[in-house]
Amino acid sequence: MSHNPGAPWAFTLTIGGRPVAGGPTFDVINPATGRVVAAAPDCTREQLDEAVTAARAAFPAWAALAVAERRRLLVSMADAVDEHTQELAGLVVLEQGKPRPVAVAEVAGLALWLRQTAGLELPETVNQDDGERWSVTRRLPLGVVAAITPWNYPVGQASFKVGPALLAGNTVVLKPSAFTPLANLRLGEVWRDLLPAGVMNVVAGSGSLGSWVTGHPGFDKISFTGSTQTGRKVMASAAQRLARVTLELGGNDAAIVLPDVDVKEVAPQLFWAAFANSGQICLATKRLYVHEDVYDDLACELVRLAEQARVGDPSESEVDLGPVSNRRQYETVVSLLRDCRDRGYRFLTGGLPEDGGGGWFVAPTLVDDPPESSRIVREEQFGPVLPLLKYRDMDDAVQRANAGEYALGASVWAGDPEAGQEVAAQLEAGTVWVNEVMHLDPLVPFGGRKQSGIGVESGLAGLLEFTEPQTLSVRRSRR
Ligand code: NAD
């Protein structure tokens, strides 16, 4: 099914292999215009129960299926994603507001993650194999997994959860953000006939659906990506029945620029590190510490890049940066900008947006060396605003970069990569890059330290998050 222009889009929940519509709906808004894109089905409590019941009923047969067969099905899911790339990317553009090439890359990432995950092997360790005893430790699936995702990469976030959960033998209920449910609902439709009924369910809802999911006794595991604030609630709710959790939470990533960099070379990389997807990336650079020797030159280059960037409605023209993705996030970003203005911090470019125009646009904004204690430095902006922070002494830069509650990613930029590596070794973060940033690989785990999360996604370690070890020990000799 592809969209027929002029006809209203009809989206359905996927529950037990069936389309489920009817009942209440909620509006999905295009952030570039403020207008309604489509009405999404609003999952009721009863429908959530049905999804969990279907997933639970499907679990034993799915877990018992040969791993080779689960691998084959993951690859067919990837093929189906490839066949629908343009349509899925079009939905992401409309509901999330990113430029089309970024949305296409996001959808391609899902197919890549599914294929690469399909090749992973669950380890089996023989602990003892002799005349006395045979003992083996295997990894078993957990049961029914809830996958809860945020709005910044609606398809991309699903890719970190769906493939590994299914390969390990779990069944899944996927719940995207209420701001961006459409591409995920469509994925449910695209995958519906490929998998046994109930293995992969997709629900969407406004209001309390997230807390219904985390409080539901039928889930064995909650794999959650979102803010630290919500992550705490998820963990508290899961604790009531000791449901397993993986929490991928907020970040306030620092980048440290050493004085020996080639400013012209690193400036575009740093610009996109901070402003890609309008700054709405968990691993985006959110604080830029620049040595005083290169601060003015780098600031100048970044201003030039910001002023060149084309900001606009991604469904109407070729743009580099779309709007902030929803009104709630726009208000967060505007409140931070207002705080900067009220306290007299200088905008090198950008600043508070003018009212009106329909969409939630904020021009890429650079804040000139605000105090370390300012909100724009301490809080996660998750939008197109970057504080530039001057340092003289490397120990001071490292100490400031490590301050705060978050520890998701960090990067170091250096002419001499070995010197960069020495600094990187002192940074507290789940991933630290030198002379690059945000490089993710389906086979490499990533996750947050401190308040940025618990557990990891991707790679073998990410797959193991959807399993539990079981040891089978067989006594061979009589005592
Ligand atoms: P959010 O916490 O508001 O929402 C995330 C998801 O949780 C949504 O699906 C939402 O509907 C659901 N939810 C809301 N309240 C809930 C509740 N009480 N119980 C259960 N679920 C609930 O986050 P957001 O605004 O969608 O996303 C932005 C945040 O996500 C940022 O902090 C960003 O850094 C973080 N993020 C982290 C990663 C990572 O990998 N660490 C990746 C992307 C985004």
What spacing in Å lies between the alpha carbon of 233 and ligand 1's midpoint?
Answer: 11
pLDDT of residue 221: 98
pTM: 0.97
Is residue 463 over pLDDT 60? yes
Domains of the chain: 13-249+452-471 (3.40.605.10), 253-442 (3.40.309.10)
Burial of 423 (C-beta count, 10 Å sphere; 0-12/13-18/19+):
buried
d(C-alpha 151, C-alpha 153), whole Å: 6
- Atom 4 of ligand 1: nearest residue by CA position: 226
- Atom 12 of ligand 1: nearest residue by CA position: 210
Residues 323-378 have pLDDT tens digits of: 999 999 999 999 999 999 999 999 999 999 987 678 999 999 999 999 999 999 99
| Residue 42 in contact with ligand 1 by CB distance below 6 A | no
CB 200 within 8 A of CB 166: yes
pLDDT of residue 316: 84
Report DSSP state, residue 199.
S
Active site residue 307: no
Report DSSP state, residue 278.
G
d(C-alpha 98, C-alpha 147), whole Å: 23
CB 250 within 8 A of CB 452: yes
| Residue 150 in contact with ligand 1 by CB distance below 6 A | yes
d(C-alpha 348, C-alpha 325), whole Å: 24
Return the best residue to mutate from 95, 148, 180, 360 for the ligand 1 pocket (most ligand atoms within 8 A of CB). Answer: 148
pLDDT of residue 345: 98
470: nearest Cα among 221, 170, 163, 141: 141
Is residue 2 over pLDDT 50? no
pLDDT of residue 317: 83
- Atom 18 of ligand 1: nearest residue by CA position: 211
Beta bridge partners, 289, equal 256, 389
464: nearest Cα among 235, 222, 165, 145: 165
pLDDT of residue 8: 58
DSSP string, 144-167: EEEEE--SSSHHHHHHTTHHHHHH
d(C-alpha 458, C-alpha 456), whole Å: 7
